[in-house]
Structure 1
Amino acid sequence: MIAKIFFSIGALLAIVFIALVFIRVMNEQEVDRIWRSLESSPTSDRFTEDMIAELPAPVQRYFLYSIAPGTPLASSVSLKMSGSFRMAQDKPWIPMQATEILSTKGFVWKARIGSGLFQMIGSDRYTNKSGQMQFSLWGLVPLVNAHSPDITRSSIGRFAGEFFWLPSALLPQRGVSWKAIDEKTIQASLKVDDEPVTLTLFIDANGRLLKLSLPRWGDQTEDGSYTYIPFGGEYQEEKTFRGFTIPSQMRAGWWLGTDRYSEFFRATIEQAEFR
């Protein structure tokens, strides 16, 4: 009798394991399909100074620093990054490895967070007017599967807020309006699927990006309710990839610029492929 019970439990666990593996494979295939849909073909259009001639001088400096004249105007960039992540201000930093595709149509971030017995595998994405976050323990045991209007609105903030990795997406030809607050503060206004976004970029005298902030929809509040929260990052290093000079080392968090600042993300860009 005991042997039969153990056999039944073992068979049940095997079925559950197979089901979890099947779900993981299906999820990975779906994410890969979305990733491929965001890939773009190389373009023959190239960046020229005439494209930004009507913009304020500080904005021109930013573009001329970020995009070398003659560079093909990419519509997407594929990134490989490493770094660290933490769940909350009082939690420890844990290692992170990720790849991301960022395009003018959306983004997919595929990540492994943590190590050993505690490793989360999953993705964060915004495509087709919808945001979704899915993470599982070891890629098998579901931990997070979040998708709602609030998640979508927050994902839009992340999407637009990462255009510093794809500077060509911020050109006025993409429908972005620019103004200069002062010689080292510039502001971009755009819409993502009817959601208005305002990016404030802080640059040095040469046009190098030092910091970026935006009001991003989030629930990092005392009662967990959603509202627009100052969000953004600071950039310590940069690299040039085929004519694009982008931040290669960054830190980001909620409540940027306030005494409530909560940094949760640190990343170093190891590879960047523009298309």
Structure 2
Amino acid sequence: MSNRIRLRLGTVIAFALATVAAAIAAVALGNRRVEYEIQTHVDELLSDSEPRDGEFSRDDIEDLPAPVRRYFTHVLEDGQPHVQVVQLHQRGEFRLGGPDSEWRPLVADQYVTTRPPGFVWDASIDVLPRVPARVLDCYEGGDGVLRAWLLGAVPVASAGPSPEMNAGELLRYLAEAVWYPTALLPAQGVEWDAIDDRSARATLEHRDASASVVFHFDEHDEIERVTAERYRMEDERYESWTGHFRDYRERNGRRIPVEAEVGWGRPDDDERYWRATIDRIEHRPMGTNRQSDGEP
């Protein structure tokens, strides 16, 4: 090999190495920025939490619809403190396309406050083998926000805050309150309206957003399904949205479902896009030390 060829080859290799090093540095810098943004949302959510004394009493639910009374009596104990902060870990799958698309692995940490209502969902989804996307979905300070970054650094999606996003994220908070059931009590601002002996509508208002969800109860007086009309960004319109819950277990003295699925459409024909197991959850009651529980 001539000196000229070796020189050219060395230049090409040096350029390639410099390009790779620059790309790695850019991704690392992007990762730090994304981590900082997500942690800022978590910190602000928790710092805005308002400690208030309160405990569950059956006297407080006497005027609620019958299936709602039975539900609270089943999942809560008299004198149980109201939950202030929740931290949970999910492991499951997410579908990025339509009903024929492939399920991709997902892990997520979620932080929730009940006064005021809010949450931060920090997820990692493997969109391709060894190619993760970092996703932030949150309702914090009255604003609904969705952000996504490929490799945890390259922005690929951004939505909100907007009136539709704010209401949609408040709706998610209300639907997921089955994991922190004292948040569904009237003392937490939820209004209940009877529908029939196995369903009731819950409505929650916060700042300029309002959310309404129909809760469906099974023969064990547990919430098995939630339905609502929610704004879908891809179609720019409101569509039916359904959540399914099952496998109730006792966690920190509360009965909650540890398996769930969510989809667009009606219950008998919904396009499910998320399914997961709650493998760890911590309830921090108002005025008490933290409580945490995972798999037995």
Query: 1:182-224: CA deviations, max 9, x gaps?
Result: 11111111213322211111112442111111111113xxxx4
Tell me if 1:164 matches 2:178.
yes
1:45 paired residue among 45, 50, 54 = 54
2:124 is matched with which residue?
Answer: 112
Q: In 1, distance between residues paired with 2:251 and 2:27?
A: 39
Counterpart for residue 22 of structure 1? 29
**Which residue type is aligned with residue 269 of structure 1?**
I
Give the deviation of 1:167 after TM superposition.
1.5
Cα gap change, 1:190 to 1:112, in 2 (>3 Å): same
User: Which AA in structure 2 matches 1:144?
Assistant: A
Structure 1 range deviating more: 11-20 or 210-219: 11-20
**Kindly tell me: are residues 12 and 145 of structure 1, through their superposed partners in 2, closer, same or farther at Cα, counting changes over 3 Å?**
farther
Q: Distance in 1 between matches of 2:161 and 2:45?
A: 22
Q: Read off the aligned partner of 1:28 and give its amino acid letter.
A: E
Shift of 1:140: 3.2
> Which residue of 242, 246, 264 maps to 2:252?
242
Over the residues paired in the alignment, what is the CA RMSD in angstroms?
A: 2.3
Q: Name the structure 1 match of 2:137.
A: 124
Taking the aligned partners of 2:54 and 2:236, their CA distance within structure 1 comes to: 41
The aligned residue for residue 61 of structure 1 is 70
TM-score with structure 1 setting the length = 0.88
Q: Match for 1:271 among 268, 277, 280?
A: 280
Structure 1 Cα separation of the partners of residues 35 and 82 of structure 2: 30
Contact map agreement 2:199 2:216 (CA 8 A) in 1: yes
Matched-pair identity in %: 29
2:142–2:209 contact (8 Å) kept in structure 1: no
TM-score (norm 2): 0.82
Alignment partner of 1:162: what SS? helix
3-state DSSP class of the match of 2:83? coil
| Paired residue secondary structure (1:24) | helix
Residue deviations 1:123-178 (CA, integer Å, cap 9, x gap): 21121222222223332333323335244443233222222222212211122111
Q: Which amino acid aligns with 1:102?
A: V
Aligned counterpart, 1:136 = 149
Matched residues in 2 for 1:215 and 1:75: separation? 27
2:104 alignment partner, one of 79, 94, 109: 94
- Flag structure 1 segments of 5+ consecutive residues without an equivalent: none
Whether the 8 Å CA contact 1:107–1:159 is kept in 2: the answer is yes
Structure 1 residues 153, 176: closer, same or farther in 2, change over 3 A?
A: closer
Would the alpha carbon gap of residues 148 and 116 (structure 1) be closer, same or farther in structure 2, given more than 3 Å must change?
same
2:184 alignment partner AA: L
Other-structure match for 1:253 = 263
**Counterpart-to-counterpart distance in 2, 1:196 and 1:257:** 23
For residue 75 of structure 1, give the secondary structure of its aligned residue in structure 2: strand
Alignment-mate amino acid for residue 139 of structure 1 = G
Per the alignment, residue 74 of structure 1 pairs with: 83
What is the CA–CA distance in structure 2 between the aligned matches of 1:154 and 1:43, rounded to whole Å?
A: 26
